[in-house]
Structure 1
Amino acid sequence: MRQAYITESGHDAEQGGRSGSRVRAAFGRWRRDPGIWRRGMVLAAFSVLVGLLMIFHAQIPNRVGNLGSLTETFLPWLGLLVPVLLVLALLRRSATALIALLVPVVVWLNLFGGLVTDKSEDTGEGGLTVATHNVNADNSDPEGTARQVAESGAEVVALEELTADAVPAYEKALASAYPHHSVVGTVGLWSKYPMSGTGAVDIRLGWERAMRSTVATPSGDVAVYVAHLPSVRVKMNSGFTASQRDESADALGAAIARDEVPRVVLLGDLNGTMNDRSLNAVTAQMRSTQGAAGDGFGFSWPASFPMARIDQIMVKGVEPVSSWTLPRTASDHLPIAARVTF
């Protein structure tokens, strides 16, 4: 048995030695190759271009098809070009391309590196847990969807894209856990704590897709906004059609800025990400719970393969301590939740 062990170990060592020799030989050929600095100039230029695109994304004009907002919606995904460029640089045996690749790597880490770590600091003591979900007007299981969101333990729940036919089902499923609720147009708010001053918020649509209510929590009053901004589309002839959403975002931001309650929580489907400059009227005055206390990017749409976080929980006057996505329901969006402290 001892002899077999020694023989096997020796074989492994020999194999490792051969692998190391091959690696050293490969690097040796690279060092002796005078073309490693001349090859791959196009790859190097493309790497630098990707990095500059991420650095100066705010300078991409929106005048033509809202191209800037479209780029910012999917900005984190530009990082997928890095491994592709790395493989191409290795295959091309280009030192220039490899060094240039540092540009998009450093920029991406600077922009999004903080999102890939778990920043939650929730001790489970005090505070307020909130959740929001675009339930989808075509939801085939409204009661099941409502129960799933309620299982998050949230004291306050916002639902968007409610239809008149489905509202009774949501009300029935949530009645026992949430004694206070109100539905305004296609959005609704359910709370374990008393609500007052509830009403629609004008976001310049001509119909009601936003509301506000003051929730009296044990730690004090909180102004809770629920909003579903207009949908956006990508069309070949007109680009990223987001003008109506942008106007609604401006109106929503103005309403929040006027609010006299110092603690504000915004729940809803904003049809845009925190990177999208067109939502500045809102994002400039509020914090994203995912960015401040989340674990990962928290993408919420589409539920089958989440690519963007267009559903948001944003706050001001309170401190986010954790943020997370909830399991998939019968909707095409994932529900999200967050916990905040005062």
Structure 2
Amino acid sequence: MMRNALRAGTRPEPWKRGPVLTALALLLGLVLLLHATITDHAGLGSLVENVLPWLGVFIPVLLAVACLRRSLSAVTALLLPAVVWTTLFGGLLRDKSHPGGDLTVATHNVGAANPDPTATAHALAASDAGLLALEELTPGATPLYDKTLAPLYPYHVVLGTVGLWSKLPLGAAHPIDIMNYGPLAATKPAAAKLPENRALRTTVTTPDGPLAVYVAHLGSVRLLPRTGFWTASRDIGAAALTKAVTADPSPRVLLLADLNGTWDDRAFNGLRAHLDSTQRTSGTGFGFTWPAAFPLARIDQILYRGVEANRSWTLPGTGSDHLPVAATLTW
């Protein structure tokens, strides 16, 4: 009994227990709160922002350990990351969709290694989208998509590896150079040169007026042992798209894209200033799209301005490593 009393007397008070847990909780909260100020050396800031929602997983883990340690200081410190995470992402958990809509649109990185383009095309056609954007088209697969989609989509344009199929008339289309933009182009290794056009702009003629539509597939990112999170090619494309969208005189703009980065990534600060995300304004949940087998990130986006989004959702998987996404829009 004397020994137990001595042990109890030497234990720290609840507010003094778990100093390491308390420090970790505060650090987690500061990363969530100040992620935009994290250095982007070796792509660190961009990497953190791409996994930002998943940092919330550490909150219940730390809480469980803090309860086991009976550390009041750690439990209290966890209020910071809990409040910040809820502020950043809590709104995504509720259903923001509402009925109605004038036009359904969809976009899908169909995957260059897709084993069955015809089946993918049939699955996408079943979405009944009025506009259907496809990225990562290959010369061998494009005719198969065209043949399958042609009965439902009489209008289409393909430039390089991106294309748009439409039930509404299309105007002239032209490529958007997202491969060599400004001073960022000098940072791109020669081995990362993109082989073909990966972005286009066209105009869709609707009963309510013209709609400027962009289809884009930004460059890939790589987690490399020597250079860290390499994003140069993607960032070049993001800057070029931002310039094009900013200068576009059309009051109604739609961007259907594989951004190879989440909407929280600092590379899209410019786009966020000019476009809204259908997932953020009319979706339910996080709507992760990649990888299709176990989606961890929402890198496929439907972005807009000058219209309203009624609903946003992901479509069932195809033979691609991405999930398709769709949205309904109202003028």
Deviation string, structure 1 residues 233-282 (Cα, Å, up to 9, x no partner): 10111111101111111111111111121100000101011111112222
1:180 to 155, 180, 185: 155
**Residue 53, structure 1, aligned to residue 53, structure 2:** no
TM-score, with length taken from structure 2: 0.91
SS in 2 for 1:66: helix
Separation of aligned partners in 2, 1:220 and 1:144: 33
SS in 2 for 1:215: strand
The 5 A counterparts of 1:105-184 are: 105-121=82-98, 123-124=99-100, 126-184=101-159
Which residue matches 1:85?
A: 62
Bigger Rg over Cα: 1
SS in 1 for 2:203: strand
1:313 to 297, 302, 309: 302
Separation of aligned partners in 2, 1:285 and 1:273: 16
Which residue matches 1:102?
A: 79
Deviation, structure 1 residue 283: 2.2
SS in 2 for 1:177: coil
Asked if structure 2 preserves the Cα contact closer than 8 Å seen for 1:266 and 1:313, the reply is yes
Deviation, structure 1 residue 220: 1.6
Q: CA RMSD in A?
A: 1.3
Separation of aligned partners in 1, 2:280 and 2:74: 32
Asked if structure 2 preserves the Cα contact closer than 8 Å seen for 1:146 and 1:173, the reply is yes
Asked if structure 2 preserves the Cα contact closer than 8 Å seen for 1:160 and 1:228, the reply is yes
Note the residue ranges of structure 2 that are not aligned, 5 or more in a row: 1-7, 181-193
**Residue 43, structure 1, aligned to residue 32, structure 2:** no
Which residue matches 2:190?
A: none
Separation of aligned partners in 1, 2:244 and 2:303: 14
Deviation, structure 1 residue 171: 0.4
Deviation, structure 1 residue 222: 0.5
Separation of aligned partners in 2, 1:59 and 1:139: 39
Separation of aligned partners in 1, 2:84 and 2:25: 11
1:191 to 166, 169, 191: 166
Deviation, structure 1 residue 34: 6.2
The amino acid that maps onto 2:75 is L
SS in 1 for 2:296: coil
SS in 2 for 1:183: strand
2:221 to 228, 232, 235: 232
2:284 to 283, 295, 298: 295
Separation of aligned partners in 2, 1:247 and 1:295: 30
SS in 1 for 2:291: coil
Note the residue ranges of structure 1 that are not aligned, 5 or more in a row: 1-29
Separation of aligned partners in 2, 1:274 and 1:314: 10
- Structure 1 segments, 4+ long, off by >4 Å, are none
SS in 1 for 2:200: strand
Deviation string, structure 1 residues 52-86 (Cα, Å, up to 9, x no partner): 00000000111x21100000011000000011101
Identity of aligned residues (%): 56
